[in-house]
Amino acid sequence: MQIADRLASIPFSGIRKILEAVDDLERKGRDVIRLEIGRPDFDTPAHIKAAAADALAAGKVHYSSNYGILELREAITRKLSKENGLSYDASSEVIVTSGAVEAVAITMMGLLNPGDEILIPDPYWVSYGPCAQMAGAIPISVPSRFADGFYPRIEDIEARITSKTRMLVINSPHNPTGAVYGKDILDKLARLAIKHNLYVLSDEIYERIIYDGNEHISIGALPNMRERTITINGMSKIYSMTGWRLGYVAAEKSVIEALVRIRQNTTACATTFAQWGGLEALNGSQEESTNMVAEFERRRNFLFAALQKIPGLQVVKPGGAFYFLVSVEELMQPAEQVAMYLLEEAGVAVVPGTAFGNYGEGLLRISYANSYQNLVLAAARMCAALEKCHAIS
Protein backbone atom coordinates (compact mmCIF):
# COMPACT_ATOMS: atom_id res chain seq x y z
CA MET A 1 0.00 0.00 0.00
CA GLN A 2 1.24 3.50 -0.79
CA ILE A 3 0.81 6.82 0.93
CA ALA A 4 0.20 10.05 -1.00
CA ASP A 5 3.05 11.51 -3.04
CA ARG A 6 2.49 14.94 -1.49
CA LEU A 7 3.90 13.64 1.77
CA ALA A 8 7.31 13.23 0.17
CA SER A 9 7.93 16.92 0.83
CA ILE A 10 6.33 16.94 4.28
CA PRO A 11 8.66 15.60 6.95
CA PHE A 12 7.84 14.80 10.56
CA SER A 13 8.42 17.78 12.84
CA GLY A 14 12.06 18.29 13.80
CA ILE A 15 10.94 18.61 17.39
CA ARG A 16 9.98 14.93 17.38
CA LYS A 17 13.53 13.65 17.73
CA ILE A 18 14.05 15.66 20.90
CA LEU A 19 10.66 14.63 22.26
CA GLU A 20 11.47 10.98 21.73
CA ALA A 21 14.83 11.40 23.47
CA VAL A 22 13.11 13.19 26.37
CA ASP A 23 10.54 10.40 26.70
CA ASP A 24 13.32 7.87 26.67
CA LEU A 25 15.26 9.62 29.44
CA GLU A 26 12.14 10.15 31.53
CA ARG A 27 11.28 6.46 31.22
CA LYS A 28 14.72 5.72 32.64
CA GLY A 29 13.86 7.93 35.61
CA ARG A 30 15.98 10.98 34.63
CA ASP A 31 14.67 14.33 35.71
CA VAL A 32 14.40 16.49 32.59
CA ILE A 33 13.55 20.20 32.65
CA ARG A 34 11.42 20.68 29.58
CA LEU A 35 12.19 23.90 27.78
CA GLU A 36 11.19 22.55 24.39
CA ILE A 37 7.56 23.37 25.18
CA GLY A 38 5.41 25.50 22.88
CA ARG A 39 2.46 26.03 25.17
CA PRO A 40 1.80 28.12 28.28
CA ASP A 41 2.24 26.13 31.48
CA PHE A 42 -0.81 27.72 33.17
CA ASP A 43 -4.30 26.35 33.59
CA THR A 44 -7.14 27.89 31.56
CA PRO A 45 -8.85 30.56 33.75
CA ALA A 46 -11.71 29.04 35.77
CA HIS A 47 -14.42 31.38 34.45
CA ILE A 48 -13.67 30.20 30.90
CA LYS A 49 -13.88 26.55 31.91
CA ALA A 50 -17.15 27.26 33.73
CA ALA A 51 -18.66 28.86 30.62
CA ALA A 52 -17.82 25.78 28.54
CA ALA A 53 -19.14 23.45 31.25
CA ASP A 54 -22.38 25.49 31.39
CA ALA A 55 -22.70 25.26 27.60
CA LEU A 56 -22.23 21.51 27.77
CA ALA A 57 -24.82 21.20 30.56
CA ALA A 58 -27.21 23.36 28.54
CA GLY A 59 -27.01 20.97 25.60
CA LYS A 60 -24.78 23.05 23.31
CA VAL A 61 -23.54 19.79 21.84
CA HIS A 62 -24.56 20.10 18.20
CA TYR A 63 -22.79 21.39 15.09
CA SER A 64 -22.47 25.14 14.94
CA SER A 65 -22.45 27.15 11.73
CA ASN A 66 -19.37 26.44 9.60
CA TYR A 67 -18.33 29.98 10.50
CA GLY A 68 -18.67 29.35 14.25
CA ILE A 69 -21.30 30.60 16.71
CA LEU A 70 -22.38 34.14 15.84
CA GLU A 71 -21.91 35.36 19.43
CA LEU A 72 -18.23 34.47 19.32
CA ARG A 73 -17.77 35.98 15.86
CA GLU A 74 -19.34 39.19 17.15
CA ALA A 75 -17.00 39.20 20.15
CA ILE A 76 -14.05 38.65 17.80
CA THR A 77 -15.02 41.53 15.50
CA ARG A 78 -15.52 43.81 18.53
CA LYS A 79 -12.06 42.86 19.80
CA LEU A 80 -10.46 43.34 16.38
CA SER A 81 -12.05 46.75 16.05
CA LYS A 82 -11.18 47.93 19.57
CA GLU A 83 -7.70 46.50 19.94
CA ASN A 84 -6.40 46.10 16.41
CA GLY A 85 -8.07 48.83 14.38
CA LEU A 86 -9.54 46.17 12.06
CA SER A 87 -13.12 46.38 10.90
CA TYR A 88 -14.82 43.13 9.88
CA ASP A 89 -18.40 41.96 9.50
CA ALA A 90 -19.23 39.24 12.02
CA SER A 91 -21.64 37.44 9.74
CA SER A 92 -19.40 37.06 6.69
CA GLU A 93 -15.78 38.00 7.43
CA VAL A 94 -14.74 35.79 10.34
CA ILE A 95 -14.43 32.04 10.82
CA VAL A 96 -13.81 30.36 14.16
CA THR A 97 -11.37 27.51 13.52
CA SER A 98 -10.07 24.47 15.37
CA GLY A 99 -6.94 26.29 16.46
CA ALA A 100 -4.80 28.74 14.52
CA VAL A 101 -3.15 25.81 12.79
CA GLU A 102 -6.40 25.03 10.99
CA ALA A 103 -6.71 28.72 10.16
CA VAL A 104 -3.26 28.66 8.53
CA ALA A 105 -3.98 25.40 6.69
CA ILE A 106 -7.33 26.48 5.20
CA THR A 107 -5.98 29.91 4.30
CA MET A 108 -3.22 28.34 2.29
CA MET A 109 -5.51 25.74 0.72
CA GLY A 110 -8.08 28.41 -0.07
CA LEU A 111 -5.74 30.97 -1.61
CA LEU A 112 -2.77 29.15 -3.11
CA ASN A 113 -2.54 27.23 -6.36
CA PRO A 114 -0.08 24.42 -7.04
CA GLY A 115 3.26 25.98 -7.92
CA ASP A 116 2.54 29.30 -6.22
CA GLU A 117 5.35 30.58 -4.06
CA ILE A 118 4.98 31.79 -0.52
CA LEU A 119 7.63 33.82 1.27
CA ILE A 120 8.36 32.96 4.87
CA PRO A 121 10.95 34.65 7.10
CA ASP A 122 13.03 31.73 8.33
CA PRO A 123 13.43 30.34 11.06
CA TYR A 124 9.66 29.98 11.30
CA TRP A 125 6.91 28.15 13.16
CA VAL A 126 6.95 24.53 12.02
CA SER A 127 3.58 24.35 10.22
CA TYR A 128 3.85 27.18 7.67
CA GLY A 129 5.99 25.17 5.24
CA PRO A 130 3.98 21.93 5.41
CA CYS A 131 0.65 23.80 5.16
CA ALA A 132 1.88 25.50 1.98
CA GLN A 133 3.06 22.15 0.65
CA MET A 134 -0.28 20.51 1.39
CA ALA A 135 -1.79 23.20 -0.84
CA GLY A 136 0.75 22.29 -3.54
CA ALA A 137 2.54 25.62 -3.06
CA ILE A 138 6.25 26.16 -2.56
CA PRO A 139 7.56 27.69 0.66
CA ILE A 140 10.43 30.08 -0.03
CA SER A 141 12.62 30.84 2.95
CA VAL A 142 13.83 34.37 3.56
CA PRO A 143 16.67 34.45 6.09
CA SER A 144 16.08 36.36 9.30
CA ARG A 145 19.44 36.57 10.91
CA PHE A 146 20.56 36.54 14.52
CA ALA A 147 22.75 39.58 13.77
CA ASP A 148 19.67 41.52 12.61
CA GLY A 149 17.66 40.65 15.72
CA PHE A 150 15.83 38.14 13.51
CA TYR A 151 14.10 40.78 11.38
CA PRO A 152 14.07 39.85 7.70
CA ARG A 153 15.72 42.32 5.35
CA ILE A 154 13.38 43.89 2.84
CA GLU A 155 15.95 43.42 0.06
CA ASP A 156 16.15 39.70 0.88
CA ILE A 157 12.40 39.40 0.52
CA GLU A 158 12.26 41.43 -2.68
CA ALA A 159 15.09 39.41 -4.22
CA ARG A 160 12.96 36.27 -3.88
CA ILE A 161 9.80 37.65 -5.45
CA THR A 162 8.96 36.05 -8.79
CA SER A 163 5.91 35.97 -11.04
CA LYS A 164 4.71 33.01 -8.95
CA THR A 165 4.91 34.71 -5.55
CA ARG A 166 1.48 35.02 -4.06
CA MET A 167 1.75 35.32 -0.31
CA LEU A 168 3.98 36.64 2.45
CA VAL A 169 3.77 35.19 5.95
CA ILE A 170 4.20 37.49 8.92
CA ASN A 171 4.22 36.30 12.51
CA SER A 172 4.60 38.89 15.24
CA PRO A 173 5.37 38.33 18.07
CA HIS A 174 7.36 35.57 16.49
CA ASN A 175 7.86 31.90 17.20
CA PRO A 176 10.67 30.79 17.50
CA THR A 177 12.64 34.08 17.61
CA GLY A 178 10.55 36.23 19.98
CA ALA A 179 10.92 39.16 17.55
CA VAL A 180 8.19 41.79 17.58
CA TYR A 181 7.68 43.67 14.34
CA GLY A 182 7.33 47.43 14.92
CA LYS A 183 5.59 50.01 12.75
CA ASP A 184 8.72 50.65 10.75
CA ILE A 185 9.18 47.15 9.39
CA LEU A 186 5.45 46.55 9.03
CA ASP A 187 5.15 49.70 6.89
CA LYS A 188 7.93 48.43 4.65
CA LEU A 189 6.41 44.95 4.41
CA ALA A 190 3.01 46.46 3.62
CA ARG A 191 4.47 48.61 0.83
CA LEU A 192 6.18 45.55 -0.61
CA ALA A 193 2.98 43.47 -0.49
CA ILE A 194 1.04 46.24 -2.24
CA LYS A 195 3.73 46.77 -4.87
CA HIS A 196 3.85 43.08 -5.75
CA ASN A 197 0.17 42.36 -5.17
CA LEU A 198 0.74 39.73 -2.47
CA TYR A 199 -1.57 38.33 0.13
CA VAL A 200 -0.24 38.73 3.66
CA LEU A 201 -0.99 36.00 6.16
CA SER A 202 -0.54 37.70 9.52
CA ASP A 203 -0.33 35.19 12.37
CA GLU A 204 -0.93 37.19 15.54
CA ILE A 205 -1.38 34.34 18.00
CA TYR A 206 1.20 35.77 20.44
CA GLU A 207 -0.24 39.27 20.12
CA ARG A 208 -0.69 39.92 23.83
CA ILE A 209 2.47 38.17 24.95
CA ILE A 210 4.53 41.27 24.35
CA TYR A 211 6.89 43.06 26.73
CA ASP A 212 8.57 46.33 27.64
CA GLY A 213 5.30 48.22 27.27
CA ASN A 214 5.33 47.71 23.51
CA GLU A 215 2.16 47.56 21.49
CA HIS A 216 1.19 44.97 18.96
CA ILE A 217 0.39 46.33 15.50
CA SER A 218 -1.81 44.47 13.02
CA ILE A 219 -0.54 44.86 9.47
CA GLY A 220 -4.11 44.58 8.17
CA ALA A 221 -4.88 47.95 9.76
CA LEU A 222 -2.23 49.77 7.72
CA PRO A 223 -3.44 51.76 4.70
CA ASN A 224 -4.61 49.65 1.74
CA MET A 225 -3.81 46.40 3.52
CA ARG A 226 -7.30 45.27 4.45
CA GLU A 227 -8.08 43.64 1.11
CA ARG A 228 -4.88 41.60 1.03
CA THR A 229 -4.44 40.65 4.69
CA ILE A 230 -5.65 37.48 6.36
CA THR A 231 -5.45 38.00 10.10
CA ILE A 232 -5.11 34.84 12.16
CA ASN A 233 -5.33 34.64 15.90
CA GLY A 234 -6.59 32.30 18.61
CA MET A 235 -7.15 31.52 22.23
CA SER A 236 -4.38 28.91 22.69
CA LYS A 237 -1.56 31.10 23.93
CA ILE A 238 -3.27 34.14 25.36
CA TYR A 239 -5.68 32.23 27.57
CA SER A 240 -3.68 29.00 27.89
CA MET A 241 -6.27 27.06 25.91
CA THR A 242 -4.10 24.96 23.59
CA GLY A 243 -6.18 21.82 24.13
CA TRP A 244 -9.46 23.58 23.40
CA ARG A 245 -8.56 24.07 19.75
CA LEU A 246 -9.92 27.53 19.14
CA GLY A 247 -8.58 29.98 16.62
CA TYR A 248 -9.97 32.37 14.07
CA VAL A 249 -9.42 34.01 10.72
CA ALA A 250 -10.60 37.47 9.72
CA ALA A 251 -10.44 38.59 6.11
CA GLU A 252 -12.54 40.02 3.32
CA LYS A 253 -15.78 38.22 2.56
CA SER A 254 -14.57 36.62 -0.69
CA VAL A 255 -11.57 35.12 1.12
CA ILE A 256 -13.66 33.85 4.01
CA GLU A 257 -16.14 32.28 1.60
CA ALA A 258 -13.28 30.35 -0.02
CA LEU A 259 -12.05 29.17 3.37
CA VAL A 260 -15.52 28.08 4.46
CA ARG A 261 -15.82 25.89 1.37
CA ILE A 262 -12.76 23.99 2.58
CA ARG A 263 -13.76 23.69 6.17
CA GLN A 264 -17.22 22.43 5.25
CA ASN A 265 -15.34 19.38 4.09
CA THR A 266 -12.75 19.07 6.82
CA THR A 267 -13.65 19.92 10.42
CA ALA A 268 -17.11 21.47 9.71
CA CYS A 269 -16.88 23.66 12.80
CA ALA A 270 -14.87 24.18 15.96
CA THR A 271 -16.19 22.23 18.98
CA THR A 272 -19.42 24.00 19.90
CA PHE A 273 -19.20 24.06 23.70
CA ALA A 274 -15.54 25.10 23.47
CA GLN A 275 -16.67 28.10 21.41
CA TRP A 276 -18.88 29.21 24.32
CA GLY A 277 -15.79 29.06 26.52
CA GLY A 278 -13.98 31.12 23.89
CA LEU A 279 -16.74 33.71 24.08
CA GLU A 280 -16.19 34.03 27.83
CA ALA A 281 -12.43 34.29 27.22
CA LEU A 282 -12.96 37.36 25.06
CA ASN A 283 -15.83 38.95 27.02
CA GLY A 284 -14.84 38.06 30.59
CA SER A 285 -12.10 39.23 32.93
CA GLN A 286 -8.65 39.56 31.34
CA GLU A 287 -6.92 39.60 34.70
CA GLU A 288 -5.44 36.09 34.61
CA SER A 289 -4.21 36.51 31.07
CA THR A 290 -2.55 39.82 32.05
CA ASN A 291 -0.93 38.15 35.07
CA MET A 292 0.33 35.31 32.90
CA VAL A 293 2.03 37.79 30.57
CA ALA A 294 3.60 39.57 33.56
CA GLU A 295 4.98 36.24 34.75
CA PHE A 296 6.35 35.48 31.27
CA GLU A 297 8.08 38.88 31.29
CA ARG A 298 9.63 38.16 34.71
CA ARG A 299 10.95 34.84 33.39
CA ARG A 300 12.24 36.44 30.21
CA ASN A 301 14.13 39.04 32.23
CA PHE A 302 15.69 36.37 34.41
CA LEU A 303 16.69 34.15 31.50
CA PHE A 304 18.02 37.04 29.43
CA ALA A 305 20.50 37.84 32.20
CA ALA A 306 21.26 34.17 32.95
CA LEU A 307 21.78 33.00 29.35
CA GLN A 308 24.27 35.78 28.66
CA LYS A 309 26.51 34.35 31.36
CA ILE A 310 26.59 30.87 29.84
CA PRO A 311 29.75 30.18 27.85
CA GLY A 312 29.18 29.62 24.14
CA LEU A 313 25.71 31.18 24.01
CA GLN A 314 24.79 34.49 22.40
CA VAL A 315 21.41 35.98 23.02
CA VAL A 316 19.02 38.45 21.42
CA LYS A 317 16.47 39.92 23.84
CA PRO A 318 13.06 38.73 22.65
CA GLY A 319 10.29 41.34 22.67
CA GLY A 320 7.43 38.85 22.84
CA ALA A 321 6.14 35.25 22.77
CA PHE A 322 7.90 32.91 25.24
CA TYR A 323 11.03 31.79 23.46
CA PHE A 324 14.68 32.67 23.13
CA LEU A 325 16.44 31.66 19.95
CA VAL A 326 20.05 31.65 21.10
CA SER A 327 23.13 31.31 18.93
CA VAL A 328 25.49 28.44 19.69
CA GLU A 329 27.77 29.12 16.74
CA GLU A 330 30.72 29.73 19.04
CA LEU A 331 30.51 26.10 20.12
CA MET A 332 31.28 25.02 16.53
CA GLN A 333 28.95 22.04 16.78
CA PRO A 334 25.73 21.35 14.90
CA ALA A 335 22.70 22.69 16.78
CA GLU A 336 21.18 19.20 16.98
CA GLN A 337 24.29 17.89 18.68
CA VAL A 338 24.31 20.75 21.18
CA ALA A 339 20.62 20.11 21.96
CA MET A 340 21.33 16.41 22.53
CA TYR A 341 24.34 17.26 24.69
CA LEU A 342 22.25 19.60 26.85
CA LEU A 343 19.60 16.93 27.18
CA GLU A 344 21.98 14.18 28.17
CA GLU A 345 24.49 16.18 30.20
CA ALA A 346 22.27 18.84 31.79
CA GLY A 347 18.87 17.16 31.64
CA VAL A 348 17.47 20.22 29.85
CA ALA A 349 15.35 19.81 26.72
CA VAL A 350 15.59 22.53 24.07
CA VAL A 351 14.90 22.45 20.33
CA PRO A 352 17.59 22.80 17.65
CA GLY A 353 16.93 25.71 15.28
CA THR A 354 17.05 23.30 12.36
CA ALA A 355 13.52 22.22 13.34
CA PHE A 356 12.32 25.66 12.23
CA GLY A 357 13.28 25.84 8.57
CA ASN A 358 16.44 26.21 6.53
CA TYR A 359 18.19 28.97 8.45
CA GLY A 360 18.14 27.48 11.94
CA GLU A 361 21.63 26.00 11.99
CA GLY A 362 23.69 27.25 14.93
CA LEU A 363 20.56 28.17 16.89
CA LEU A 364 18.59 26.67 19.79
CA ARG A 365 15.06 27.52 20.87
CA ILE A 366 14.65 27.78 24.62
CA SER A 367 11.06 28.11 25.79
CA TYR A 368 10.25 29.72 29.12
CA ALA A 369 6.82 28.16 29.40
CA ASN A 370 8.07 26.50 32.54
CA SER A 371 8.19 27.66 36.16
CA TYR A 372 10.61 30.36 37.29
CA GLN A 373 12.12 27.85 39.71
CA ASN A 374 12.78 25.36 36.91
CA LEU A 375 14.29 28.09 34.75
CA VAL A 376 16.75 28.98 37.52
CA LEU A 377 17.72 25.32 37.78
CA ALA A 378 17.90 24.84 34.01
CA ALA A 379 20.14 27.87 33.55
CA ALA A 380 22.54 26.60 36.24
CA ARG A 381 22.62 23.13 34.70
CA MET A 382 23.15 24.41 31.16
CA CYS A 383 25.92 26.68 32.42
CA ALA A 384 27.71 23.82 34.16
CA ALA A 385 27.36 21.55 31.11
CA LEU A 386 28.67 24.14 28.67
CA GLU A 387 31.50 25.19 31.00
CA LYS A 388 32.52 21.55 31.07
CA CYS A 389 32.48 21.23 27.30
CA HIS A 390 34.44 24.51 26.97
CA ALA A 391 36.98 23.14 29.41
CA ILE A 392 37.33 19.94 27.29
CA SER A 393 37.77 21.84 24.02
Work out whether 177 is an interface residue with ligand PLP (CB under 6 A).
Answer: no
Q: Which is nearer to ligand PLP, 99 or 110 (CB)?
A: 99
CB of 278 to ligand PLP, least distance (A): 11
CB of 104 to ligand PLP, least distance (A): 6
Work out whether 175 is an interface residue with ligand PLP (CB under 6 A).
Answer: yes
Cα–Cα distance, 239 to 292 (Å, whole number): 9
Work out whether 320 is an interface residue with ligand PLP (CB under 6 A).
Answer: no
CB of 242 to ligand PLP, least distance (A): 5
Closest Cα partner for 218 from 267, 243, 193, 183?
183
Using the rule CB under 6 A, which residue among 242, 267, 314, 333 binds ligand PLP? Answer: 242
Q: Which is nearer to ligand PLP, 249 or 310 (CB)?
A: 249
Q: How far is CA 324 from the centre of its chain?
A: 13
CB of 175 to ligand PLP, least distance (A): 4
Which residues are CB-contacts of 383 (< 8 A; sequence separation ≥ 6)?
Answer: 306, 309, 310, 311
Query: What secondary structure letter does DSSP report for 12?
Result: P
Helix H or strand E encompassing 103: helix 99-111
Which residues are CB-contacts of 61 (< 8 A; sequence separation ≥ 6)?
Answer: 272, 273
Work out whether 205 is an interface residue with ligand PLP (CB under 6 A).
Answer: yes
Query: Whose CB is nearest to ligand PLP?
Result: 99
Work out whether 99 is an interface residue with ligand PLP (CB under 6 A).
Answer: yes
Per DSSP, the three-state class of 140 is strand
CB of 17 to ligand PLP, least distance (A): 18
Per DSSP, the three-state class of 248 is strand
Q: Which is nearer to ligand PLP, 83 or 330 (CB)?
A: 83
CB of 22 to ligand PLP, least distance (A): 18
Residue type, 293: V
Q: Which is nearer to ligand PLP, 38 or 360 (CB)?
A: 38
Enumerate residues 289-308 that contact ligand PLP by CB under 6 A: none
Work out whether 234 is an interface residue with ligand PLP (CB under 6 A).
Answer: yes
CB of 245 to ligand PLP, least distance (A): 7
- Count Cα atoms within 13 angstroms, Cβ side, for 172: 24
Please provide the size of the chain in residues: 393
Cα–Cα distance, 301 to 84 (Å, whole number): 27
Using the rule CB under 6 A, which residue among 18, 33, 38, 69 binds ligand PLP? Answer: 38
Using the rule CB under 6 A, which residue among 55, 80, 101, 185 binds ligand PLP? Answer: 101
Strands, DSSP E only, in the chain? 33-34, 94-97, 117-122, 138-143, 165-171, 199-203, 229-234, 247-250, 323-327, 348-349, 351-352, 363-367
Residues lying near ligand PLP in the complex (CB under 6 A): 38, 99-101, 125, 171, 175, 203, 205, 234, 236, 242, 247
